[in-house]
Structure 1
Amino acid sequence: MRVRPFRQGDTEPVVALWEACGLTRPWNDPRKDIARKLAVQPELFLVGEEDGRLVASAMAGYDGHRGWVYYVAVAPDRQGAGLGRRLMGEVERRLTELGCPKVNIQIRAGNSSAGSFWSGLGYADDAASGMGKRLIPDS
């Protein structure tokens, strides 16, 4: 797998990947999420491709205090092959270069397979709960 920054032409394949991995939600427009990311730290929006096929994605950010990672996806037929590990290695490398001391992720309740993946990469429960508030509706 070759890891590279997202390009505008990747939009539809990335949205299809997110849908195949169950990452999209009715209240989030994935195309708007992509446009927002391209306006802020686009170099931290990475994709992985094999033989010209987009098979992985990760959207990261660093606010000067913590790093965050979203939309980590690996094509269902390629899961378990180490692609997510390789992609996250590159995300973590880039965040470290920016001086990021810690990276956070959020896992939706009931997504036990994601928990196993993240635990295998050394992530642990922070004993904190996440809360959110929508400021700009996508609809």
Structure 2
Amino acid sequence: MLIRPFALSDLSTVVALWADAGLTRPWNDPIKDIERKLTTQPELFLVGEHDGAVIATVMIGYDGHRGWVHYLAVAESRRGERLGQALMAEAERLLTERGCPKINLMVRSGNERVIGFYESIGYGTDEVAVLSKRLIPDV
């Protein structure tokens, strides 16, 4: 798998991959999420490709205090090949290179398969409550 920055030509494939992976929600427009990411650290929005096809993604950010990971997705037909692990290793490398001391990510409650994946690569659960407030509605 070649890991490279997202290109606009990847848009429809990436949105379809996220939908297939169960990452999209009606209240979050994935195209708007991509447009927003492209205004801030666009080099930290990565895709994995094989034979010219996008098969994986990860969206990374660093706010100067913590790194964040969003939209890690691997095509269902390619799961089990350690592609998610490879993308997370690249995310960790890029964030470490920027001086980031810790990565945070969110997994929806009850998604034990994904929690198990992250635990298998060294992540642990912090006992925190995630609070949020929508500032700009997507719908």
Question: TM-score if structure 2 supplies the norm length?
Answer: 0.98
Equivalent residue runs for 1:30-45 within 5 Å? 30-45=30-45
Partner in structure 2 of residue 121 of structure 1: 121
Q: Which amino acid aligns with 1:116?
A: G
SS in 2 for 1:54: strand
Separation of aligned partners in 2, 1:130 and 1:112: 18
Question: Where do 4+ consecutive residues of structure 1 move more than 2 Å?
Answer: none
SS in 1 for 2:9: helix
1:131 Cα deviation after fit: 1.5
SS in 2 for 1:39: coil
1:84 Cα deviation after fit: 0.3
Equivalent residue runs for 1:20-99 within 5 Å? 20-99=20-99
Partner in structure 2 of residue 112 of structure 1: 112
Between the two proteins, what is the percent identity of the paired residues? 58
Q: Which amino acid aligns with 1:27?
A: W
The C-alpha deviation readout for 1:33-57, integer Å capped at 9, x for no partner, is: 0000000000100000111111000
Question: TM-score if structure 1 supplies the norm length?
Answer: 0.98
Separation of aligned partners in 1, 2:113 and 2:9: 30
SS in 2 for 1:87: helix
Partner in structure 2 of residue 130 of structure 1: 130
The answer to whether the aligner puts 1:17 opposite 2:21 as a matched pair is no
| Count of residue pairs brought into register by the alignment | 139
Q: Compare 61-70 and 128-137 and name the one that shifted more.
A: 128-137
Partner in structure 2 of residue 3 of structure 1: 3
Q: Which runs of 5+ in 1 are unaligned?
A: none
1:124 Cα deviation after fit: 0.1
Q: CA RMSD in A?
A: 0.6
1:13 Cα deviation after fit: 0.4
1:129 Cα deviation after fit: 1.8
Separation of aligned partners in 2, 1:46 and 1:11: 12
The C-alpha deviation readout for 1:111-131, integer Å capped at 9, x for no partner, is: 111101100110001111211
